[in-house]
Structure formats: C-alpha cells, structure tokens
Structure 1
Amino acid sequence: MNSNHLLLEEPMRMASILEPSKPTFFPAMTKIVGTLGPKSRSVEIISGCLKAGMSVARFDFSWGDTEFHQETLENLKIAVKSTKKLCAIMLDTGGPELQVVNRTEHPISLEEDTKVVLTPDQDKQATSNLLPINFHGLSKAVKKGDTIFIGQYLFTGNETTSVWLEVDELSGEDVVCLIKNSATLSGPLYTLHVSQIRIDMPTLTDKDKEVISTWGVRNNIDFLSLSYTRHAEDVRHARDFLSKLGDLNQTQILAKIENIEGLTHFDEILQEADGIILSRGNLGIDLPPEKVFLFQKAAVYKCNMVGKPAVVTRVVDSMTDNLRPTRAEATDVANAVLDGSDAIILGAETLRGLYPVETVSTVGKICAEAEKVFNQDLYFKKTVKYVGEPMTHLESIASSAVRAAIKVKASAIICFTSSGRAARADCKVQANHACDFCCYPSAKDKSTAVDFLWCF
C-alpha cells in the first residue's frame, strides 16, 4: 500500500508505535455486531459486551428456537437499561442452509479414504458411514467429483472438526462420498456446503417467514440479515414480505453474500439491498484462496461508492478458544477497516467462544487504531468523483459538511434527522472514520434502541 493511502506522520518514529493510544471521547466508528448465544446470553456477559463496544446484537435463527432467543433478548434489554448503551437488533435468517441431522448428538468420527453416504432420510441415525441431511435434492444437484464441505455450526475451519468430501457415486436420492481428511464432528448441528452448486430452495423459507412474523414483529427488529442472498429478487421478495408486517416496513435488509451465485449477481443485489454482509466463511470455500482478498476489496469499494454499509465476517476465529487473536487476524481486522468496511460481525467468537467480552474489546481497539490512519481526504475525493455532477441537493449539503469537517479537523458532525436519509448521505462521502455523527431521531416505543438507520 502506498504511504499516501494512510495518514502516517513523516518522518515516522517506529518507537512511537509502542506509545499508549490517546483516549478518545468516541468509541471506534466501525460497528461491532455480536452474535448472542449459549456463552453470551447472561445479563453480565451482554453488559460487558455493550461496554466493550458491541452496538448490534445478532440473533441467528439457523439454530435455537424462538423461546431461547427471546430469553436472550430480555436479558439484552436489562443490560441496555443498566449500562445505558444503545444496541440494535439483527435477525439472521436460516435460509436455504443444508444441515447434517444428528439427533443423538454423539460425536461422529470420519476416517480419511473411507466412504460415507449422505441421505435425505432423516429418520436414520447418523453414524460414521451414514449422515442424514435436510435436503432431498442433493443427488440431482451434484455430480461425481464435486466437493462437499461439512463442519460444525459456525466452524472455525479446524481440520479436526470439519471434513472435505468428494462425490464418488449417486444412488437414488443418496450421495456416496469419499472422505478426504479424518475428522470428528461433535455437537448437534453441522452445516453442509457444496462448492459452486445451486441449491433449489427458497432464500426466505417458510420457517424464516414464521420467525419474522412472530419473533421479529414482537421485537420490532432493526435489521434483517438475509442469508444466502442469490438474486436481487430475493431482496425484493423479503422487502415485500416485511412491508405487510406493520412496523417492520422500516427494517433494513442486509443481503448476505455466501456463494458464487450471490457474487455473480452482486451489483443487482447491492442496488436493492440496504447493505451487504460479506460472508467470508462459506464464500471462502467457493473461491480460490488467492481470490478471497480481491472479492472483499471490490465488494467493499462498491458498497462505499453507493453509500451502503459493508459488513465483514470471520475475522478472529481463533478467539473462540484463545484470549488473543493471531497476528494474521489482527492485521485482517485492520485491513478490513482500511478497505472501508463499516462493521464487523463476530459469530462463533461470541456465540460459543470462551472470551466474548475480551473479543469485542480487542476487535474494537484494532478498529480504533486503524481508523486513526484512515486517509479520509483521499476517500472523500474518490467518492465525490464517483457521485459526479450534478449532485442532488442532499448530496451537495452532505459533501459540503464533510469537506468542512475535514478541513477544520472536527470531532463530530451533528445531524438532525428523523428518517436517517441525511445521515446516510453524510456517511456516503465520509466513511465513518473521520468524525462521529450525532443523530437525533424519533424513538421507537418500547424498543431496545432508537431508530438505528445510521447504525452503520
């Protein structure tokens, strides 16, 4: 990276890196989304996460029932009240996710170079030679030689807990596979991902609709994370569904790009969605390793230029079991911020990790340090050039406000807004890194947060 892409003092003293960071009134502007689950659902832990910098709570409905998530949300409300920290609510749909069904929850050992059968018959018991799945059309979607990945829910990529399979034979609705590495699958839920294969299942399933129309309406969710978004029509369908649910017609839809199909239709999806979640876990399986960084940088840039939030996942997987991230992970978080990412999603790290509060704190500190050297002036010039002329009245006012803030090194831009449009216009040319926005909206009645349209 050229030095003009970062705000570094010249000449830079390397010893200055060791100096303690100066305290700031505002926290990191890069938002941290924490997934709440078994290890992070108590009032004490949630309060710790809020104080550490979590501003969005994610409820993932690909596992757990509404009663479990409601209990967690009630604890969140108590934590919000006690800490006086606002927190938005994100509902993450299950979508067309393929899963291995293990009703006994006993560990399953798979041996390299042996065969295992994937069957849609969920009445059968999962064994080392037979894995029931929740999809009847797999044998029609794959062919001999295709690659299938199976891992624990929110897997960390550890080869002892996830397995690669190669399709060897098709037998009716069953798929016979060759096991490529030895592994032990533990726990009740494993996700199954087929590389570069289209799965004929709706993006918004009947189960998703039921959850949204009951739990989502009851809790007036701020964001809907639309898992496995593959086409712009998926977003339009979800928005049409939300529009019929009263208060949820203002809920923001974040399209989750998780496979090649979604990547192929990225531009159309971006046009329809309110923001994009780059699901690097599943997509990282589909893409060659050398292409993952290119997708991230291109996708974040496209989001930045149209003024829509870009959210990155899977950044500090190792903190699921460790107190500190690896050097590569720490650098990855910083680079995501420098690329222009608006938020970071923590999945397994907070849901079932041993150190949820420490993880939020560590990621927040890395984001704050990266924001200090983010070249806002360069970003501003790129965005204004992309917007072009003539600007709309709102874009003109927003760009003038941001230009003035950069020139005088302002700490905050105060934006009075009820709809969030003015704040989003400012963010479009400001990238959330130069100064903070203080927005004053109308409050939602009995919600855990005010209207979080500007949350990213």
Structure 2
Amino acid sequence: MQGGNHMLLEEPVRLASVLAPAKPKVFPSLTKIVGTLGPNSHSVEVIEECLTAGMSVARFDFSWKDATYHQETLDNLRKAAQNVKKLCPIMLDTVGPEIQVHNSTGGAIELIGGNHVTITPDLSKAPSADILPIKFGDLAKVVKKGDTLFIGQYLFTGSETTSLWLEVTETSGAEVICYVKNTATLSGPIFTLHVSQVHISMPTLSEYDKQVISTWGLQNSVDIISLSHTRSSEDVRELRAFLKSHDLQDTQIYAKVENAEGLEHFDEILQEADGIIISRGDLGIDLPPERVFMSQKTGIHKCNMAGKSVIITRVVDSMIDNLRPTRAEATDVANAVLDGTDGILLGAETLRGQYPVDAVRTVGRICAEAETVYNQSLHFKKVARHVGEPMAHEESVASSAVRSAMKVKAAAIVVFTFSGRAARCSILHKIST
C-alpha cells in the first residue's frame, strides 16, 4: 500500500519515497507536544514561539520552584496563548515520593569515582564529597549491599557528568555508605535520589502535593495532573477522590509510570487513569537499558487498545545544549510515533535547555513525518478486533465514522461533543479530529 510519496510500513521502504520532497500538510503534527515551562521558557515571547512551533500542553513541575514562580509563568502563558490565538491546557506535575538531598550551602559538590560517600538522614550535617544529607530516615532499612542509587539534579542518563551513580557497600545505623562509580559534579539547591527497584515507604500523593493542588491547582482550574511515581491503582483512586472533594472532578489524571513497581501494576493503573506517561527518565535507571524499549512498546500498545492517551518522555536530551538532536534521538521519536504514542513530553529540553523553541519545532517535524507513514488502516483493524462486538453505541458511531473517513481519504473528522468522549473514541482509531 502506498500513500502519496510515502510507503505504509507493511511494504519495504523505497528510496524514492524518502527522497521525494515533503508535501505541505493540512495539519501540523497530530502527536501532542508537552512543554515544561521554566527558566528558559518563562517569558511571554518565548512561550509564544513555543506555542507557534507546536507546543500543545504546558507542564508545570512542582518538584522545584514555588507556586509564586509558577503563577508568574502561567500568567505569561495565558498572555502568550491569547496573543497567538491558541488554546493550551495546563498540566500540574506532582512531586510524589521523591527523596531529596538538600544542598544547604548551594555550592557545587565534586565527587570522584572510586571514593566513598555516606548518605545520612542527619540534616544538620553540611553536604560535601564525603557526606550527603537526605530528607528520608528509613533508607538504611530498605537498601542492602549491592543496591544501586542515583543522585542528581536531573538524574542519570549515561552521559551526564552532573549525576552520580552509587553502589551500596554497607549500612551503619541510619546511614548508608556507598561506592562512587563515576566522577560527577552536583550543583543546585536540591538533588534527587533514586533507589533502583526498591519500594520507598512514602505516599505517592504527598502532603505537599495536596497543598499545591488544593491551592494553585484549584485557583487555576488545571486540566491535567501528572501523578508522579504511580505504583498502584489505589494511588489513582486516592487522587481522584481528593480532586472530587476539591471541586476538580473534571481534571484528568495521567499516571506517570517510572519504576518497576508501576510496570508490575500497569494494567490496573491504566484502568483507573485517564492517560499514562511512560517516564523514561526514572524508568531508564530502574530497569536494565536493554529492557526499556520493551516496557515502552508494551505500554503504548496497551494504552492504544484501551483507548487511553499515552505520552513518553526523555526523547531529545542532547537538545538541552545542542541545536539539533542526535540521529538516534530523531529515530527514537519517530519510532515512538509509529508505536502509537499520542504525545511527547519535553522536560529539561524546554525547562532549562538553550533551545526550547527549536526542541519543540524539531520534535514536531519528526512526529509529523512519522505520521505520514503510520498505517492507519492496520491500527484500525487491531482496535476493532480488540474491542470486539457488540460495541457500545458511542464506540460503534466512532468506528463507523473512522471507517468512512478512511474510505474517502478524509483529512479530518469534525466531532460535536459536550464531554469529549465521542472525540476520544474517534482518536482511539488514530484519525485526526
């Protein structure tokens, strides 16, 4: 099968289809781009450029900065959206059970590979290359010799020198002594500590998260809450009840699956959540590297079949400091679209990256190009087989509309909807609405 100058993926790709000039598109990328707003994307002017470049959702990460700062950014977003005449939903990202190292001195801390460092719950001790205080008293109770810990402002990617890779050698009382596996310089007021494949006895929805949601979230009627470190369906139900009690029942919940525990309970989490964020930042250090791709592909497929939105993260890390992504990153983004992802989340790329607008624009172009060879017909058949018969009324109407659109090669389906359910049923079949 062939669509225009491009081959659908059931056929081998012909060089001619690759070299043919791209045709103007009726729509920009249908894959949604979530941009995290921060220091390098705070101003009205930069946000305007991000929106024009293709940013679909604005994410506010409350693991850093306070509500005052985020309110200033949101006010700028509203001005920018009005100026460019675009709607932009708001996503509030919770902190969750995050273990933090507080750098009270604020200075850079250099740790040398081959040395040892002690992790302590004693916050009275000043952080240094020899000791790092954390806000969690039970670490020594849950880790054992040989366990892996990661510490960094943006966690470990395998190439950064700003994050630390540690191996537990022993515990002494409440303290954990670790072997430093790589040389790194920690900088900033707060670092995150991640313990690989170990359950941390901290609530998924923290008291700080509840305070932020019930004040900033309620005040701004946030559209989506990204529930960090979701570990079970009960986490989603707890947040749902909390939102309902604060008159935020229309706010959608996107569960962030970012550790082995979340993967283990993926099916039950998917059933309760409105959407899933496959958070490859933490997931990529909780799992062996060779298993990350399978968790992504399996998760995306399950979301597609369930008709729930799915977003992936950490796609163009190199664009934090560079104008272009690597070839591997560009291919990674395209393959995620071909797997069926509905959205791409840009974190550090737009938050602190030097080229936030270019990151949005480049990812959008890659997504749009991948969409031209996405096999809509094959996906539709898979979904129809999965749903089976008899279908619900809304599902049947949406399915018929999509089938008709495919036969006449319609560019879009216009859906008149009050709740959005009919539109989501149509999107389930991967036709633009």
Report the equivalent of 1:444: none
Q: Which structure 2 residues correspond to residues 244-393 of structure 1 after superposition, within 5 A?
A: 244-246=245-247, 248-393=248-393
Give unmatched runs, 5+ long, in structure 1: 438-456
Report the equivalent of 1:399: 399
CA distance in 2, matches of 1:24, 1:3: 17
Report the equivalent of 2:241: 240
**Cα shift at 1:120:** 1.1
Question: Taking structure 1 as reference, are residues 8 and 194 closer, same or farther at Cα in structure 2, changes over 3 Å only?
Answer: closer
State the TM-score, normalized to the length of structure 1.
Answer: 0.92
Question: Taking structure 1 as reference, are residues 8 and 111 closer, same or farther at Cα in structure 2, changes over 3 Å only?
Answer: closer
Instruction: Provide the secondary structure at the position in 2 that maps to 1:277.
Output: strand
Report the equivalent of 1:200: 201
**Cα shift at 1:48:** 0.3
Paired residue type of 1:145: G
CA distance in 2, matches of 1:309, 1:405: 21
Paired residue type of 1:158: S
Assess if the C-alpha contact under 8 Å between 1:229 and 1:257 holds in 2.
Answer: yes
**Cα shift at 1:158:** 2.7
CA distance in 2, matches of 1:260, 1:9: 33
Assess if the C-alpha contact under 8 Å between 2:7 and 2:13 holds in 1.
Answer: no
Q: Deviations over 1:63-100 (max 9, x none)?
A: 11000000000000000010001100000000001121
Report the equivalent of 2:218: 217
Q: Deviations over 1:28-71 (max 9, x none)?
A: 11000000001101001000000000010000001110000000
Matched, 1:141 2:142: yes
Report the equivalent of 1:426: 426
Report the equivalent of 1:100: 101
Q: Deviations over 1:284-309 (max 9, x none)?
A: 11111111111111000000001000
Matched, 1:412 2:403: no
Assess if the C-alpha contact under 8 Å between 1:153 and 1:189 holds in 2.
Answer: no
Aligned-pair identity in percent equals 65
Question: Taking structure 1 as reference, are residues 192 and 395 closer, same or farther at Cα in structure 2, changes over 3 Å only?
Answer: same
Q: Deviations over 1:311-342 (max 9, x none)?
A: 00000000000000000000000000000000
Q: Pairwise CA RMSD of aligned residues?
A: 1.8
Paired residue type of 1:371: E
Instruction: Provide the secondary structure at the position in 1 that maps to 2:413.
Output: strand
Q: Deviations over 1:98-142 (max 9, x none)?
A: 121112221111111111010112222110001111211111110
**Cα shift at 1:27:** 1.2
The farther-off stretch of 4-13 and 345-354 is 4-13
Question: Taking structure 1 as reference, are residues 255 and 112 closer, same or farther at Cα in structure 2, changes over 3 Å only?
Answer: same
CA distance in 2, matches of 1:324, 1:11: 28
Assess if the C-alpha contact under 8 Å between 1:112 and 1:180 holds in 2.
Answer: yes
**Cα shift at 1:17:** 2.4
**Cα shift at 1:6:** 5.9
Assess if the C-alpha contact under 8 Å between 1:155 and 1:348 holds in 2.
Answer: no
**Cα shift at 1:417:** 0.4
**Cα shift at 1:157:** 4.0
CA distance in 2, matches of 1:76, 1:250: 21
CA distance in 2, matches of 1:166, 1:215: 39
Assess if the C-alpha contact under 8 Å between 1:254 and 1:273 holds in 2.
Answer: yes
CA distance in 2, matches of 1:271, 1:92: 20
Q: Which structure 2 residues correspond to residues 164-175 of structure 1 after superposition, within 5 A?
A: 164-175=165-176
Assess if the C-alpha contact under 8 Å between 1:80 and 1:86 holds in 2.
Answer: yes
CA distance in 2, matches of 1:8, 1:178: 47
Instruction: Provide the secondary structure at the position in 2 that maps to 1:411.
Output: coil
**Cα shift at 1:270:** 0.4
Question: Taking structure 1 as reference, are residues 180 and 154 closer, same or farther at Cα in structure 2, changes over 3 Å only?
Answer: closer
Q: Deviations over 1:192-239 (max 9, x none)?
A: 111110000000000000000000000000000000000100000000
Report the equivalent of 1:54: 55
Question: Taking structure 1 as reference, are residues 6 and 96 closer, same or farther at Cα in structure 2, changes over 3 Å only?
Answer: farther
Assess if the C-alpha contact under 8 Å between 1:156 and 1:318 holds in 2.
Answer: no
State the TM-score, normalized to the length of structure 2.
Answer: 0.97
CA distance in 1, matches of 2:399, 2:387: 10
Report the equivalent of 1:7: 8
Report the equivalent of 1:123: 124
**Cα shift at 1:152:** 1.9
Paired residue type of 2:237: R
CA distance in 2, matches of 1:302, 1:176: 40
Count of residues in correspondence between the two structures: 431
The farther-off stretch of 159-168 and 69-78 is 159-168
**Cα shift at 1:156:** 4.6
Question: Taking structure 1 as reference, are residues 8 and 272 closer, same or farther at Cα in structure 2, changes over 3 Å only?
Answer: closer
**Cα shift at 1:25:** 2.5
